[in-house]
Structure 1
Amino acid sequence: MSEAQDRAWRELSPRYLLDIPRDEGATSVHPDARLEPEREFGRRARLIVEIGSGQGHAIVHAAAQHPHDDFLAIEVFQAGLARTMLDADRAGVTNLRLIEANAPEVLASLLPEGAADEVWVFFPDPWHKQRHTKRRLVQPDFAPVLARALADGGMLRVATDWQAYAVQMRDVWDASPELDRAFEGDWAPRFEGRTMTAFERKGLRVGRHIRDLRYRRRDRP
């Protein structure tokens, strides 16, 4: 990490970073650990969860724009989390918390079932080489894990600049019995609540098409 990121990690972690009980790995989540969003944020509010928040550009911007909602960023890389905390502090954001952990474990057990009003998956690593595609986050067994965390009627928002991964994710979500398409045609319109980052601008400059997807959680029986 840079000197500024290292300082942010030391000084801002108590404010933003949640202390998660671990299992065996450094970014694991103990299966008995439970998160109480209302306790962590000190209020009851809509909860938006971003998986793989990177350097936090999207979620910090959204948290600053929507102070009446609560935001939870899940990321495994400390440098990205430190940058997120640094930007959040500069923006005066107080409705944001961070978790350094594997997202599937957070969604599967740490979060209460139905806790998230929205889940965002923006530009996940495409692992574009054929021999690496099995490492992609979005696989058939991930769909029920994500659906568990979504509230009835909650929204899943996805974006990628990698066509093959976009098709794979659409196939996975379409096959999920817990999710319904919330768009018409092949792709959803761009989510206006997603700030345009340097990464997305670069993708557009080199001719990549940004693909958005949007799904709604079906009501539980």
Structure 2
Amino acid sequence: MASRDVFTHRAARPHEPLRTFHPRRSPLGRDRSDALDRLFDVHGFAVDDPRHAPPLTADGLLDTEALFGRRAPVVLEIGSGMGEATAAMAAADPARDWLAVEAHLPGVAALLVRVEQEDLTNVRVAHGDALRLVRARVAPGSLDAVHAFFPDPWPKAKHHKRRLVQAEHVALLRERLRVGGTLHVATDWAEYAEQAVEVLTGDPALVGGVVDRPAHRPVTRFEQRGLDLGHAVVDVVVEKVR
């Protein structure tokens, strides 16, 4: 059973990189609480709590073969939200394994519910900061793709330094991709889309740009609400070429 203290956001440590998400707590409800108790230690792990750690290699890196029970290409989902898109993509692409990292507990619980209901054997759910996990535990060249769909836009200028899509973070994620792997960002925040295009296409090891929404990325209820309000969604996809 996953104890509740593993889900408590700790304070940022001195000199630690800024979070790219808003720490917040929300009520879970009976079904999601039950899912956490039954399924977290089966299909999930905590980024920071060693009592609920993932399997690691002798080098202290994430052992994805042990985690998923097979050797397959791995897709990293940064900020999987309530898990709707992750579950749909994993179901449609069973040849790849999907590691969804979500900082907010209701999203972790909601995706665990979907994993059980849809019998998704190729999904694992991590609770915590995706960038911390990538820095500490993900081997260079080990990811087939990285997805960041609708990351927090941090609209105030003084908060732009907290955005996920900036050169330092993109370089980190690109290093973890295999050559030929892709980094896919989607946003409905126009100014953030401009920044994403500039940063992603400005990395000399990445090639690509704005594309029409790929068929494999489903339109979630969250996205549809924005579309109904007239928001324009921009997809940026780049490939690692060296």
Distance 1:103 1:20, change over 3 A: closer
Matches of 2:47 and 2:130, distance apart in 1: 12
Among 193, 211, 214, the residue aligned to 2:216: 193
Q: What is the CA–CA distance in structure 2 between the aligned matches of 1:19 and 1:125, rounded to whole Å?
A: 21
Could you list the per-position Cα deviations for residues 189-218 of structure 1 after superposition, in whole angstroms to 9, with x for gaps in the alignment?
102111111111111111110100010012
Matched AA of 2:84: H
- d(CA) in 2 for partners of 1:57, 1:216: 25
Q: Does residue 214 of structure 1 match 2:237?
A: yes
Tell me the residue number matched to 2:95.
Answer: 68
What is the CA deviation profile of residues 165-201 of structure 1, one whole-angstrom value per residue up to 9, with x for unaligned ones?
01111111112122111x5xxx211021111111111
> What is the letter of the counterpart of residue 107 of structure 2?
G
Question: Could you tell me which amino acid in structure 1 is paired with residue 151 of structure 2?
Answer: P
- Structure 1 position 109, deviation (Å): 2.8
Instruction: Please state how far the C-alpha of 1:135 moved relative to its aligned partner.
Output: 1.6
Whether the aligned pair in 2 keeps the contact of 1:36 and 1:112 (CA below 8 Å) is no
Please state if 1:86 is matched with 2:113: yes
1:8-52 CA distance string (max 9 Å, x none) = 1101112211254549xxxxxxxx842011111111111111101
Is the Cα contact below 8 Å between 1:20 and 1:33 reproduced in 2?
A: no
Q: Which residue of 2 aligns with 1:166?
A: 193
- Separation in structure 2 between the aligned mates of residue 125 and residue 203 of structure 1, nearest angstrom: 14
Aligned sequence identity (%): 35
Contact map agreement 1:139 1:172 (CA 8 A) in 2: yes
- Name the counterpart of 2:170: 143
The Cα shift of 1:108 comes to: 2.0
Does residue 156 of structure 2 align to residue 129 of structure 1? Answer: yes
Unaligned stretches of 5+ residues in structure 1: 24-31
Query: 1: distance between equivalents of 2:88 and 2:112?
Result: 12
Amino acid at match of 1:11: R
In structure 2, what is the equivalent of residue 59 of structure 1? 86
* Contact map agreement 1:159 1:211 (CA 8 A) in 2: yes
What letter matches 2:85 in structure 1?
Answer: A
TM-score by length of 1: 0.89
CA contact (8 A) 1:119 1:156 kept: yes
Q: Which residue of 1 aligns with 2:66?
A: 39
TM-score with structure 2 setting the length: 0.81
CA distance in 1, matches of 2:49, 2:85: 27
Q: How many residues align?
A: 207
> In the TM superposition, what whole-angstrom CA distance separates every residue of 1:58-80 from its partner, at most 9, and x where no partner exists?
11111111222111001111111
Residue 129 (structure 1) shift: 2.2
